Amino acid sequence: MDPDYLPFHPNPKKPDFVLPAGTVDAHCHVFGPAAKFPYAPQRKYTPCDAPKEKLFELRDYLGIARNVIVQGTCHGADNRALVDALGAANDMARGIASVRPDISDAELDALNAVGVRGVRFNFVKRLVDDTPKDVYIKIAERISRLGWHIVVYFEAPDLQELTAFLRQLPTTIVIDHMGRPDVSKGIDHPDFERFIRLMADNPNIWCKVSCPERLTVKGPGYEDVFPFSSRIVAQFTDRVLWGTDWPHPNMKSHVPDDGALVDVIPKIAPTAALQQALLVDNPMRLYWP
């Protein structure tokens, strides 16, 4: 593990907010254990091991029913830790993989059989080397026959350049962490308006209202992020997902308490109907149709 890497919270609080039955954590990871599933040589960080057993323990402790496990960049396109976790989850987990365009149909079928339902395209420069867009287009073509979707991770200033590319993708698209707005700029800033317009204009685009702990500039409490997530939940109620982002790789400011992250939910989805859509109905439609 990197010397400045912050491991996940050892003993999160029990949330005050009781999650609705069947809640899906639609963004979390498994890392390692490195002795069994080594990290990728080209990785940009080396995390603390965060094995499937710990993820499933947290799921049960918080009152979550299902997980969507997203391949982390520290494992590159080696999806073995993800596949191992999906295989151990008794159909209660789905996966988002990272693949190369030359992956065989048989390998894609094997990923599908174990519960993978999408691939992730990552444009965050501190996490990955640049991948040409035509490579991503090729991958999109390769997965289309499986009915998978594409998860994209980028930061707000990059959206303008990425918009034409996103519009070109033929599948459902899920954007990580609200496209990472700079919350110090407020919800009226052109960057966030661009994001809202993107979702309004493209009914195939979904969004995760996750990661207040990454987006906040004020720190735990995360109130400065709520206007952004509340706006998206209210306007795009049937296209939003929520996730813990456990084990929170690359957090520098603080180690988030996963119970406190659950307690954010009623602040951004204040009614039972909004909570049911965000936590159960939307992810079930996408991952367990």
- Residue 176 binds to ligand 0GY (criterion: CB under 6 A): yes
Cα distance between residue 243 and residue 278, in whole Å: 10
> Pick the catalytic residue: 25, 49, 176, 245?
245
* CB of 34 or CB of 234, closer to ligand 0GY: 34
Strand partners, 118: 96, 149
Cα distance between residue 179 and residue 283, in whole Å: 19
Catalytic, 245? Answer yes
* CB of 191 or CB of 272, closer to ligand 0GY: 191
Among 40, 127, 137, 187, binds ligand 0GY (CB under 6 A): 127
User: Which range, of 13-21, 70-78, 260-268, 277-285, touches ligand 0GY by CB under 6 A?
Assistant: 70-78
- Residue 249 binds to ligand 0GY (criterion: CB under 6 A): yes
Among 51, 72, 115, 256, binds ligand 0GY (CB under 6 A): 72
Cα distance between residue 70 and residue 151, in whole Å: 9
Q: Are 97 and 119 in contact (CB under 8 A)?
A: yes
Q: Are 80 and 37 in contact (CB under 8 A)?
A: yes
Cα distance between residue 71 and residue 83, in whole Å: 10
* CB of 176 or CB of 258, closer to ligand 0GY: 176
Closest CA to 154 of 126, 199, 124: 124
- Residue 216 binds to ligand 0GY (criterion: CB under 6 A): no
Closest CA to 214 of 3, 6, 26, 46: 6
Among 229, 244, 250, 282, binds ligand 0GY (CB under 6 A): 250
Active centre residues (catalytic): 245
The footprint of ligand 0GY (CB under 6 A) covers 29, 72-74, 127, 153, 176, 214, 245, 249-250
